[in-house]
């Protein structure tokens, strides 16, 4: 049986150094609670000696119960100009009142000489003295050997000497850091093993990798294979420059691929939820292509692939997606064949089999529409409407009789004024309405809603969440075809629709109308299911 691996999350500290990744104190508390539920052993909350926000977090988090995780404060060795007990950074760590403290020190001799501008021996004293002073003032004490692998390659004896002094100072675990993120996988294992030989097998070793060479996850897993038992990383790999080692890939790699035990193994099915929660709190779009937790991680597009996974998912899936809380998705595109269509029909609750001629009609429509500029991978609501029309199961909720949009600008320094008029028929009744808006598309959206809400009040629950326009290759400049993707939502779900035309207003109209029709279809199904 493999040993148990400690998981140490530094999203709230190292992760916040990423560009465009910002968290308030309240955000950090909510993420800490989510990480605790995931089973993370240690949550590094920040550097209390560096900024008021982190200091406030350590105070605030004491008001919350974290049944599993232990909050960790982070800092550095004391400054060379005064002793450890007078150092404001070390005192701030103690005042944070956390059960765990992690400090880092210099390992690479070039940093000692050029950054700190002290002697190599004085740096060793800083490491030992800092840890020794902290040892009696916290329950658990970790030491991060900054730039360890670069330091090891430059001056092996000195790098090992820094670790020995950390052990002498009372560090319980020595974390080897690839701070510049440039160490290659073939180097990691050998250097970790060399450290074990120098210090002995009874010393706990950890790993902290950055991703500048795109190997942080691989380096972390190799380090564990070489004897490391403490793993540091961040959710979704957020971190400075190119990011940190991604715990969303490391944890399933350890558990599902390498057979190691760790506390998040019991909650692995919550990994996707935790990954997306962090993105949501940080107001960042999740990376759909991310392994294990990305929306595309188990998405199948090619007809041959789809046919195979319908028979046996193992043919094109390296794990069962539900193990990490993900799902298999069948995409539709001009690469789609009958297998894709049948899979989507099953998902939409449509009764189709492979011998039904309508299947090939749908395939032909799909290929023709995508040739015109439509794209359904991010607009499955539009594709469901297409399939229901083809199978004769789509109700006609309303009929467009015409619309007009005007956009007027009276003075150069004033905003434009947009107005839309819409005429629709619902049953035997014609409704003719007008509305203004912030631009022609918003005006059109307001007008069609105004016309329909008296017949379908459930449309008041629906909001337009996102609107994207892409200019497609083909005709030059302003003559080009455009594709509009709209994401809408209500209090329960969100869905995507698409339109394509040489006229951006027409493309927007197509996507808007599909969004409304899908909401009405969804409401009808919900009413039927609840009756």
- 165: domain CATH number is 3.20.20.70
Helix (H) or strand (E) segment spanning residue 424: strand 417-426
Q: Are residues 268 and 313 in the same domain?
A: no
Whether 482 is covered by a domain: the verdict is yes
Q: Are residues 54 and 156 in the same domain?
A: yes
Q: Are residues 485 and 405 in the same domain?
A: yes
How far is it, in rounded angstroms, from Cα 250 to Cα 265? 11
Whether 23 is covered by a domain: the verdict is yes
Helix (H) or strand (E) segment spanning residue 53: helix 52-60
In this structure, what DSSP letter does residue 4 have? B
Burial of 207 (0-12, 13-18, 19+ CB in 10 A): buried
> Smallest Cα–Cα separation from 287: which of 246, 250, 347?
246
Whether 387 is covered by a domain: the verdict is no
Q: Are residues 174 and 118 in the same domain?
A: yes
Whether 218 is covered by a domain: the verdict is yes
Q: Are residues 461 and 349 in the same domain?
A: no
In this structure, what DSSP letter does residue 474 have? S
The pLDDT value given to residue 531: 67
Q: Are residues 411 and 446 in the same domain?
A: yes
Last residue of a domain, one of 281, 313, 329: 281
Q: Are residues 18 and 145 in the same domain?
A: yes
Q: Are residues 104 and 248 in the same domain?
A: yes
Last residue of a domain, one of 281, 315, 347: 281
Query: Is 510 in contact with 501 (CB distance < 8 Å)?
Result: yes
> Smallest Cα–Cα separation from 338: which of 359, 368, 309?
359
Number of domain units in the chain: 3
Q: Are residues 25 and 170 in the same domain?
A: yes
- 439: domain CATH number is 3.30.160.270
Whether 384 is covered by a domain: the verdict is no
How far is it, in rounded angstroms, from Cα 324 to Cα 41? 18
Other CB atoms within 10 Å distance of the CB of residue 201: 8
- Beta-bridged to residue 418, according to DSSP, are 407, 437
In this structure, what DSSP letter does residue 244 have? B
Q: Are residues 316 and 262 in the same domain?
A: no
Q: Are residues 277 and 303 in the same domain?
A: no
Whether 392 is covered by a domain: the verdict is no
End-to-end CA distance of the chain: 53
Query: Is 77 in contact with 127 (CB distance < 8 Å)?
Result: yes
In degrees and rounded to multiples of 5, residue 396 shows phi and psi of -90, 95
Query: Is 80 in contact with 122 (CB distance < 8 Å)?
Result: yes
> Smallest Cα–Cα separation from 441: which of 462, 466, 461, 477?
466
The pLDDT value given to residue 455: 95
Query: Is 157 in contact with 109 (CB distance < 8 Å)?
Result: no
Whether 290 is covered by a domain: the verdict is no
The pLDDT value given to residue 228: 98
The pLDDT value given to residue 335: 54
Query: Is 303 in contact with 337 (CB distance < 8 Å)?
Result: yes
Whether 191 is covered by a domain: the verdict is yes
Instruction: Profile the chain (531 residues) by mean pLDDT over runs of 10 residues.
Output: 89 96 94 97 94 93 97 97 94 97 97 93 97 97 98 97 98 98 96 96 95 98 97 98 98 97 96 92 89 90 72 85 86 63 81 81 82 80 90 91 90 87 94 93 93 94 88 69 90 90 92 95 84 67
How far is it, in rounded angstroms, from Cα 49 to Cα 107? 22
Other CB atoms within 10 Å distance of the CB of residue 395: 9
Last residue of a domain, one of 324, 347, 369: 369
Q: Are residues 346 and 456 in the same domain?
A: no
Query: What is the DSSP code string of 124-157?
Result: HHHHHHHHHHHHTTSSEEEEEEETHHHHHHH-HH
Q: Which domain does 428 fall in, by range? A: 399-530
The pLDDT value given to residue 150: 97
């Amino acid at each position: 049986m493999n040993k148990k691996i400690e998981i140490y999350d530094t999203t709230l500290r190292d992760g916040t150094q990423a560009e465009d990744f910002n968290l308030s104190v309240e955000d950090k508390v909510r993420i800490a609670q989510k990480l605790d539920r995931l089973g993370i052993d240690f949550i590094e909350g920040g550097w209390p000696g560096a900024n008021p926000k982190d200091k406030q977090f350590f105070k605030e988090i004491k008001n919350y119960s974290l049944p599993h995780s232990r909050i960790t404060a982070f800092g550095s060795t004391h400054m060379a100009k005064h002793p450890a007990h007078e150092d404001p950074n070390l005192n701030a760590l103690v005042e944070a009142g956390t059960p765990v403290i992690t400090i880092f020190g210099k390992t690479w001799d070039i940093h000692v000489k050029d950054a700190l501008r002290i002697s190599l021996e004085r740096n060793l004293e800083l490491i030992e003295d800092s840890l020794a002073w902290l040892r009696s003032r916290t329950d658990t004490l970790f030491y991060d050997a900054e730039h360890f692998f670069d330091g090891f390659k430059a001056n092996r004896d000195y790098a090992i000497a820094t670790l020995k002094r950390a052990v002498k100072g009372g560090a319980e675990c020595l974390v080897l850091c690839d701070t510049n993120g440039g160490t290659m996988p073939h180097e990691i294992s050998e250097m970790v093993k060399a450290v074990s030989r120098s210090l002995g097998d009874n010393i706990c070793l950890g790993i902290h990798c950055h991703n500048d060479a795109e190997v942080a996850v691989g380096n972390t897993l190799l380090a564990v294979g070489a004897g490391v038992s403490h793993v540091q990383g961040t959710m979704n790999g957020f971190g400075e420059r190119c990011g940190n080692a991604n715990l969303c890939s490391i944890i399933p790699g350890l558990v599902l691929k390498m057979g190691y035990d760790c506390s998040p193994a019991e909650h692995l099915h919550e990994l996707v939820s935790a990954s997306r929660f962090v993105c949501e709190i940080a107001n960042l779009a999740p990376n759909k292509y991310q392994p294990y937790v990305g929306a595309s991680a188990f998405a199948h597009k090619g007809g041959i692939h789809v046919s195979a996974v319908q028979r046996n998912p193992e043919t094109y899936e390296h794990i069962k997606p539900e193990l990490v809380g993900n799902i298999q998705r069948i995409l539709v595109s001009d690469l789609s064949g009958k297998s894709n269509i049948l899979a989507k029909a099953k998902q939409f609750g449509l009764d189709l089999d492979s011998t039904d001629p309508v299947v090939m009609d749908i395939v032909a429509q799909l290929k023709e529409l995508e040739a015109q500029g439509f794209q359904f991978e991010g607009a499955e609501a539009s594709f469901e409407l297409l399939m229901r029309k083809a199978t004769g199961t789509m109700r006609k909720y309303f009929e467009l009789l015409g619309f007009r949009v005007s956009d007027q600008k009276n003075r150069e320094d004033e905003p434009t004024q947009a107005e839309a008029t819409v005429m629709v028929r619902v049953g035997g009744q014609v409704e003719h309405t007008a509305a203004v808006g912030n631009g022609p598309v918003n005006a059109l959206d307001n007008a069609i809603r105004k016309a329909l809400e008296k017949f379908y009040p459930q449309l008041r629950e629906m909001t337009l969440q996102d609107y994207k326009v892409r200019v497609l290759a083909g005709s030059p400049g302003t003559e080009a075809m455009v594709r509009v993707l709209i994401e809408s939502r209500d209090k329960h779900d969100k869905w995507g629709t698409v339109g394509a035309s040489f006229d951006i207003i027409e493309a927007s109209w197509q996507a808007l109308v599909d969004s409304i029709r899908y909401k009405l279809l969804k409401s009808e199904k919900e009413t039927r299911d609840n009756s």
